[in-house]
């Protein structure tokens, strides 16, 4: 996510590192649903450990609610930080974006966690499957058949779909600044997004009951392949679309995540090949902290300025990008190398925290 969020120039980005313009997908579109999927998988392990330590159901509910509120608040903080610095001492509450990546993670974690508890944890698979079906089928039905004032029913383009209309109605000027009329993490599209960690919950509970064998990895990959096929088959009827988080997108990306998880399971748990994964472990042990650090660093590098050798004023981002990358190689390669440089810059504090066994968690 850090890699795709921080290119040297948005006008020179290789297609795998950019989102699909609307329908369809790129590798970048897989990052967010993969994260929500693994949140669901991790939830089964985390809750099991807490129960083993004597945590009650009410204690788990408090943990879910407080953690969700904290993540949501951090998301709002990131949304407002740049505008606060630019407009200090005034804070532009009227244009503060309310939705966001961390806000969606918080809501999905809250809802999936409460559904998981209410259904009876690993004993409630039928209820969890039912919740997934209701969320995905219900979202498809609402987006397809509910008429949008001024447009009618069944429109799935950026401005005339039901989700965009609801976002404008309820949040007005608090939407994504690049669109202003809709939000990729809007209200209605958050409902099918809840199904993504719930699918992760089903997979996590299933993995906990399996022996560590190549057969388990194969079954996981095979089930994922089915999800890929089903999601792609639904594309003509309800297009794969990350910004709308369509039901086909949920099924397709969950299937993809299962295939990738099966591959990692086979490499790490079955074969014992772990060295290659160490950088990911270092990032993952402080995932939220490093994500926030990356966002804050990106904000500061675009807000503060420095003079070039010719006397012109540019941002820190622009100075580093043009001095060390864009002035030496082609725009697309320069943009990519800057993004890699930014990832390395974020890896340094992650490595220092990991080395000192400091793990910042909520």
Q: What is the mean pLDDT of each run of 10 residues along the chain (362 residues)?
A: 94 94 96 96 93 90 95 92 74 82 96 93 87 97 95 93 94 83 93 98 93 94 97 96 97 98 95 94 94 93 83 88 91 96 96 94 84
Q: Which tokens belong to 211? A: 């022996």
**Residue entry with tokens 């969020």:** 5
Phi–psi pair at 119, nearest 5 degrees: -85, -5
Of 251, 254, 336, 342, which is closest to residue 15 (Cα–Cα)?
Answer: 336
Q: Would you state the pLDDT for residue 310?
A: 75
Phi, psi values for residue 315, rounded to 5°: -75, 165
Q: Which neighbouring-strand residues pair with 307?
A: 313
Instruction: State the pLDDT at residue 362.
Output: 83
Cα-based distances in Å from 145 to 148, 162, 169: 9, 10, 19
CB-hemisphere CA count at 13 Å for 56? 3
The 3-state DSSP class for residue 210 equals coil
State the pLDDT at residue 200. 97
- The C-alpha atoms of residue 69 and residue 61 are separated, in whole angstroms, by 12
Q: In terms of DSSP H, where are the helices of 212-330?
A: 214-234, 247-264, 278-284, 287-303, 316-321
Nearest to 125 by CA among 46, 224, 204: 204
Please report, for residues 191, 339, 346, 356, the alpha-carbon distance to residue 349 in angstroms, rounded to integers and kept in the order given: 35, 17, 6, 11
């Amino acid at each position: 996510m850090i890699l795709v969020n921080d290119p040297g120039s948005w006008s020179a980005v290789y297609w795998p590192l950019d989102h699909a313009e609307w329908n369809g997908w790129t590798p970048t579109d897989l990052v967010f649903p993969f994260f929500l999927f693994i949140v669901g998988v991790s939830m089964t392990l985390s809750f099991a450990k807490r129960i083993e330590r004597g945590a009650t159901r009410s204690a788990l509910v408090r943990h879910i609610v407080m953690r969700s509120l904290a993540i949501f608040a951090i998301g709002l903080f990131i949304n407002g930080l740049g505008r606060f610095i630019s407009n200090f001492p005034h804070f532009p509450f009227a244009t503060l974006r309310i939705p966001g990546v961390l806000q969606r993670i918080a809501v999905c974690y809250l809802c999936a966690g409460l559904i998981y508890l209410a259904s009876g944890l690993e004993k409630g698979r039928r209820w969890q499957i039912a919740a997934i079906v209701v969320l995905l089928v219900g979202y498809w039905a609402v987006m397809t058949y509910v008429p949008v004032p001024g447009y009618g029913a069944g429109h799935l383009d950026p401005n005339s779909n039901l989700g965009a209309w609801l976002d404008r109605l309820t949040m007005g000027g608090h939407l994504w600044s690049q669109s202003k009329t809709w939000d990729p993490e809007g209200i209605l599209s958050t409902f099918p997004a809840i199904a993504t960690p719930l699918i992760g919950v089903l997979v996590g509970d299933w993995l906990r009951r399996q022996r560590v064998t190549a057969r388990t990895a194969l079954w996981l990959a095979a089930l994922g392949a089915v999800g890929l096929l089903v999601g792609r088959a639904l594309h003509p009827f309800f297009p794969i679309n990350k910004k709308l988080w369509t039901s086909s997108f949920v099924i397709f990306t969950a299937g993809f995540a299962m295939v990738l998880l099966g591959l990692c399971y086979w490499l790490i748990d079955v074969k014992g090949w772990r060295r290659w994964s160490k950088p990911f472990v270092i990032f993952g042990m402080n995932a939220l902290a490093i994500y926030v650090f990356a966002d804050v660093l990106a904000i500061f590098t675009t807000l503060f300025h420095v003079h070039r050798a010719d006397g012109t004023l540019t941002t820190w981002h622009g100075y580093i990008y043009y001095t060390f990358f864009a002035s030496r190689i082609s725009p697309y390669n320069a943009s990519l190398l800057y993004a890699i440089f930014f990832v390395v810059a974020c890896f340094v504090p992650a490595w220092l925290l990991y080395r000192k066994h400091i793990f910042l968690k909520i």
